[in-house]
């Protein structure tokens, strides 16, 4: 068994691989893409850090590759879709850098509270500007945390140690779970208006990109201080520059930028109120050892025991059962992903009902698949392995019920999610061996192939609605591939779900929602 190790991996991790026996480790820390393409066909597995790109071209050339491991949490440098299509397992090590990123967040928070970098530069320049660098205390100040996952939770505990009041916004966390950490869960607007310091700990998605922008800054109190150690792009850097210049934002600390390395002429670098570091959140000796040891142990388990841990694209089940469950796993993920884009995100409960032949299998991996899809908008580190744990940590109640009696279909999976103000339901089935379908959305029955870009509209069942909808899409160059309809009764409420060839903008969705007799419209992407 040959494993290629790219990048600088801690010796402790390499030693675990070498001591396992029957595993040949080849270290090549500084390969470029051309060199990697030339040799990847010789290896059964590869371990990478963030610098090495495992592209679709690399995967296509990797004839023997069975496993890709990322010594770290993010897998942005790996084409996971291409790997999945080739049957290659992709693993990462979520949690290995939790403490170090949280500590770096606190270091930056303290730096902008007490002007430490600016004062250091001043003293080294031969000055003694004591009055210029007067700071503020953390004690009794309010820290607003956006995203109360693993890192955000550790930041909260550290901040409480300084006597800070901690409030948080996290649409996937219950108030009860937050209260156990002595944290007040608030709305995003409330967090903006009350916080003296704001730190963000969310993944970068289409929904969160630029979330700290012009509108957000207008809602914040004058003199707020901003910290971002999560992902570049979460903060609108141009809007941040304007907010600092206007005095709305007193200071900002950034470990990440939308473009990295950050351009030397970036406007924020010219502001004395900005403290910045070169993506150091996970850069400690301890974190590097943690992720190296974790990925090495996962590799040994995979090759020696046939077990899968920490996979982002495969459930933890045996090969035989996987083949039988594959269509149900795909259906479950699609149902969860559908709900993730349509539900009231203050998620409290998930109820999953299985009926028919699907109950003959161990349905736990299917439940994990549903939860992975449902939580996919929450974090780029959710997978089949950790989806259930995330539900527990966030106080989300997940229940399963099984009925061997089939009613309308040989097998049926129905998922209901309860938020603070609503309940949303979607159900699906498998036709034949592999054809998955959505057959129910709330109280509407239909038969839809869950794939690609889609539009979901609720409307009044009156003449002309579909014509107006299709005309608006056509006028904007959007082609409808498939159209699915559902209604309860003639002239009553109705539902339109259409598969479209290309994505739509928020502006087009808003125009759809404004059409006569259209009650709501939203875009959905199901991969």
Residue 384 corresponds to which tokens in the numbers above?
């089949």
DSSP, residue by residue, 19-45: HTSS-EEEE-TT--HHHHHHHGGG-SE
Q: Phi, psi (5° rounding) for residue 185? A: -90, 125
- What gap in Å lies between CA 442 and CA 414, rounded to an integer? 10
- What gap in Å lies between CA 458 and CA 493, rounded to an integer? 7
- What gap in Å lies between CA 377 and CA 367, rounded to an integer? 17
Q: Phi, psi (5° rounding) for residue 259? A: -120, 125
Catalytic status, residue 447? no
CA atoms 443, 445, 448, 454: torsion sign: negative
Catalytic status, residue 231? yes
Catalytic status, residue 201? no
The answer to whether 459 and 426 have CB atoms below 8 angstroms apart is no
Count of alpha carbons within 13 Å of 450, Cβ hemisphere only?
Answer: 29
Catalytic residue among 165, 225, 279, 453: 279
Catalytic residue among 260, 286, 360, 447: 260
**What H or E segment, with its residue span, contains residue 353?**
strand 349-356
Tokens 């992975």 map to which residue?
372
Helix crossing, 11-19 with 285-305: angle to 10°? 20
- What gap in Å lies between CA 169 and CA 163, rounded to an integer? 20
Catalytic residue among 104, 165, 201, 231: 231
**What H or E segment, with its residue span, contains residue 439?**
strand 435-441
Kindly report the three-state secondary structure assignment for every residue of 220-236. CCCCEEEEECCCCCCEC
What are the Cα distances from residue 256, in Å, to 203, 262, 276? Answer: 12, 9, 8
Q: Give catalytic residues, as residue numbers.
A: 231, 260, 279
């Amino acid at each position: 068994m040959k494993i290629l190790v790219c990048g600088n991996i801690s010796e402790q991790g390499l030693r675990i691989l070498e001591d396992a026996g029957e595993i040949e480790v080849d270290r090549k820390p500084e390969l470029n893409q051309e060199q990697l393409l030339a040799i990847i066909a010789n290896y059964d597995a590869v371990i990478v850090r963030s610098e090495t790109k495992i592209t679709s071209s690399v995967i296509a050339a990797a004839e023997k590759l069975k496993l890709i491991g990322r010594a770290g949490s993010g897998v942005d440098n790996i084409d996971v879709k291409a790997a999945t299509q080739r049957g290659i397992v992709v693993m990462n090590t979520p949690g290995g850098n939790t403490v170090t990123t949280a500590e770096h967040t606190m270091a930056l928070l303290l730096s902008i509270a007490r002007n430490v970098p600016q004062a250091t530069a001043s003293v080294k320049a031969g000055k003694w500007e004591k009055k210029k660098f007067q700071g503020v205390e953390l004690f009794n100040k309010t820290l607003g945390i956006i995203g109360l996952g693993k890192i955000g939770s550790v930041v909260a505990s550290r901040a409480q140690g300084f006597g800070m009041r901690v409030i948080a916004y996290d649409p996937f966390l219950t108030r009860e779970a937050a209260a156990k950490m002595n944290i007040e869960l608030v709305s995003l607007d409330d967090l903006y208006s009350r916080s003296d310091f704001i730190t963000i700990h969310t993944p970068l998605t289409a929904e969160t990109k630029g979330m700290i922008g012009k509108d957000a800054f207008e809602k914040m109190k004058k003199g707020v201080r901003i910290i971002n150690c999560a992902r570049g792009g979460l903060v609108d850097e141009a809007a941040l520059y304007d907010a600092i210049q206007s005095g709305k934002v007193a200071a900002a600390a950034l470990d990440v930028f939308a473009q990295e390395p950050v351009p030397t002429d970036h406007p924020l670098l010219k502001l004395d109120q900005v403290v910045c570091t070169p993506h150091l959140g996970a850069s400690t000796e301890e974190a590097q050892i943690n992720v190296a040891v974790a990925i090495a142990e996962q590799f040994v388990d995979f090759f020696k025991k046939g077990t899968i841990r920490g996979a982002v694209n495969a459930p933890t089940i045996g090969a035989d059962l996987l083949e039988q469950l594959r269509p149900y796993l795909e259906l479950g993920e699609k149902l969860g992903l559908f709900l993730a884009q349509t539900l009231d995100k203050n998620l409290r409960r998930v109820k999953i009902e299985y009926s028919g032949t699907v109950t003959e299998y161990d349905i736990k991996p299917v439940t994990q698949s549903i939860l992975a899809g449902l939580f996919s908008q929450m974090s780029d580190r959710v997978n089949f392995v950790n989806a259930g744990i995330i539900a527990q940590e966030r106080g989300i109640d997940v229940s399963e019920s099984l009925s061997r009696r089939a009613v309308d279909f040989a097998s049926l999976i129905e998922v209901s999610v309860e938020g603070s103000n609503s309940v949303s339901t979607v159900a699906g089935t498998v036709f034949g061996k592999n054809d998955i379908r959505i057959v129910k959305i709330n109280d509407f029955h239909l038969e839809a192939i869950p794939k690609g870009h889609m539009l979901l509209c609720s409307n009044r069942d009156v003449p002309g609605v579909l014509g107006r909808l299709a005309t608006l899409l056509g006028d904007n160059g959007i082609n409808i591939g498939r159209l699915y309809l559902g209604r309860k009764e003639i002239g009553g409420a109705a539902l339109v779900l259409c598969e479209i060839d290309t994505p739509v903008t928020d502006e087009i969705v808003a125009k759809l929602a404004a059409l006569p007799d259209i009650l709501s419209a939203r875009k959905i992407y199901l991969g």
